[in-house]
Amino acid sequence: MSHGERTEFKNPVINWIDERLPVFSLMQREYGAFPTPRNFNYLWNFGAISMFMLVTMIATGIFLAMEYTPATDRAFGSVERIMRDVNWGWLLRYLHANGASMFFFAVYIHIFRGMYYGSYKKPRELLWIMGIVILVLMMATGFMGYVLPWGQMSFWGATVITNLFSAIPVVGNSIVTWLIGGFAVDNPTLNRFFALHYLLPFVIVAVVFLHVAALHISGSNNPLGIEPKSAKDTIPFHPYYTSKDLFGLTVFVIFYALIVFFAPNVLGDPDNYIQANPMQTPAHIVPEWYLLPFYAILRSFTLDIHIPFTSIVLLNSKLGGVILMGGAIAMLLLMPWLDRSPVRSAVFRPLYRIAFWLFVVVCLVLGWIGAQHAAEPYITIGQIATALYFSFFLVVLPLLSRFEKTLPLPSSIAEAVLKKD
């Protein structure tokens, strides 16, 4: 926002505003001329797609909030009223409920893309960390949003997740009582979850802003994982990537619309169309699909760890599960320091490439296990998958950074791209 470099705008109104508040200069610099690697593939669409979903969720959410009532005796009914009586209410609700799934889907692809191409590495560590913070905020927001319709899964999901905090030694139960505002999940819980579900998306907007600001400092990574060296390696963001993002977004929205209009309940749980009953636990509590891998990790810890030769429990299975689940997120945060390989992109890392795809399979297996009953053989499979999840970060990444023989990197993006053609 320096004064000297401002270019004049032809439109006098725009120019008048820009002289006083250089928003147009900023947009021109950060989104118009912004030099971007020329070799993005379609996986680079998912940042923009995620942003679109965030806006969609906030827009539909605000209108839903105008019709929704956060009280235990009326919440379920108010959601049914939205579905039946409110003009276009069914559309708003289906867009919002399935939008959460689409948002997570886009964000997970975005994260896996970052992992594959080494986007978390220097100098983008903080950018990556803010991305994981966004993921955690999304999980909290998604979870609290799922409680609002006050169905059976809402209620029991809320009960199970808030009880995770009771695993904390000594003060655990007081923390749970404080969190839910009573001795069981009830009206105070529903009220505060609504307040927080409305608040957190705006916190996400703020962190997304920082995420994008940091991106514009380091510049984007690219499929080759090498930094642009000259003007030949980059193209302006507009019109090249605005149009590419728009195309990717259109395909994504078609997919979103197919779900909303033709299978709006396919990702939901039928039990959530039964009003919450605090006296009866459903036979099988499952979180939404996007939380399943973490739920599987939570349940994988079934042992009590004792102080040797005594019966004093050092770490019970409940606390152990909670620590593992937190650890699963912490692994992502630590990834820039666990992987010391100087080569970013998996394109030039033959062993990392295999490890990455195995990791994706492990995440899918965990997701599948998270949806199963806590019984054999699922418990054992879940435990193996959890062990593999952690060994990817704590064993494979450090070992590969030391012993992997990477392929030679091209001297520049332009050279690699033009040679291919």
Partner 1 sequence: MTSSADHECCGSHSCHADKPETHDDGQGRRDFLVMTACAVGGVGAASVAWPLVSSMNPAADVLALASTEVDLSKVKEGESITVVWRGKPVFIRHRTAKEIEEARAVALADLKDPQSDEERVKQSTFGGKPLSEWLVMIGVCTHLGCIPLGQKPTEPHGEFDGWFCPCHGSQYDSSGRIRKGPAPKNLEIPPYQFTDASKIKIG
Of residues 76 and 393, the one with the C-beta less far from partner 1: 76
**Options 50, 288, 300, 345, the catalytic residue:** 288
Of residues 48 and 296, the one with the C-beta less far from partner 1: 296
**Residue 328, token pair as written in the block:** 């699963």
> Can you give the C-alpha Rg of the chain in angstroms?
24
Of residues 145 and 321, the one with the C-beta less far from partner 1: 321
Closest among 128, 126, 97, 93 to 112, alpha carbons compared: 128
Which stretch, 56-64, 88-96, 367-375, 390-398, contacts partner 1 (CB under 8 A)? 367-375
Q: How far apart are CA 387 and CA 348, in angstroms?
A: 27
Local structure of residue 407 (DSSP, 8 states)? P
User: Contacts with partner 1 in 190-219 (CB under 8 A)?
Assistant: 192
Q: How far apart are CA 91 and CA 171, in angstroms?
A: 44
- Number of shown-chain residues binding partner 1 (CB under 8 A): 38
34 binds partner 1 (CB under 8 A): no
**Residue 105, token pair as written in the block:** 């889907």
The site map against partner 1 for 320-339 (x = CB under 8 A) is: -x------------------
Peptide bond just before 264 cis, omega within 30 deg: no
User: Contacts with partner 1 in 167-186 (CB under 8 A)?
Assistant: 177-179, 181-184, 186
**Residue 323, token pair as written in the block:** 């620590």
385 binds partner 1 (CB under 8 A): no
Q: How far apart are CA 233 and CA 225, in angstroms?
A: 12
Q: Is 245 a catalytic residue?
A: yes
299 binds partner 1 (CB under 8 A): yes
Our separate counts of H helices and E strands in the chain read 16, 4
CA atoms within 13 Å, Cβ hemisphere of 142: 23
Of residues 121 and 299, the one with the C-beta less far from partner 1: 299
Q: Is 232 a catalytic residue?
A: no
Note the residues at the interface with partner 1 (CB under 8 A).
156, 159-160, 162-164, 166, 177-179, 181-184, 186, 188, 192, 278-285, 299, 301-302, 304, 311, 313, 316-318, 321, 373-375
**Active-site residue set:** 216, 220, 244-245, 288
